[in-house]
Amino acid sequence: MSKERLQLPICTSCNRPTLPKENVVKFYCPECGKVLIWRCEKCRLLSRPYKCVNCGFEGP
Ligand SMILES: [Zn+2]
Ligand SMILES: [Zn+2]
C-alpha cells in the first residue's frame, strides 16, 4: 500500500476535503485573482460564504 494519497482540494467555505464525485467548483478570487477558491456542492447549495486567504474578500 502506498502512503501517497490523492490530494483532495479543501473547500474554502467548510474546510473539508472535497470528493471527486462531488460537483465542486473552483474559481479565482474575484477581488485579487490570486487565490483559487474551491467550493463543494453542499456549500454552493447552502450559499455558504467563503473568504479569500490573500485579500480577505468574502462573498458567495
Ligand atoms: Zn464546503
Ligand atoms: Zn482575494
Query: 20 falls in which pLDDT band (50, 70, 90)?
Result: confident
Q: What average pLDDT does range 27-52 have in this prediction?
A: 95
Give tens-digit pLDDT for 22-33: 999 999 999 999
Q: What is the mean pLDDT of the chain?
A: 91
Which percentage of the chain shows pLDDT scores above 70? 90
Give the number of the ligand closest to the Cα of residue 50: 1
Q: Name the closest ligand to CA 60.
A: 1
Size of the chain in residues: 60
d(CA 50, CA 60): 6
CA of 28 to the centre of ligand 2 (A): 8
**How many other C-beta atoms lie within 10 A of the C-beta of residue 7?**
7
Q: Taking Cα atoms as reference points, which of 14, 19, 24, 22 lies closest to residue 51?
A: 14
pLDDT for the residue 60: 83
Q: Which residues are placed with Cβ below 5 angstroms of ligand 2, an ion?
A: 29, 31-32, 52, 54-55, 57
User: Is pLDDT above 70 for 44?
Assistant: yes
Ligand 1 centre distance from Cα of residue 26 (Å): 11
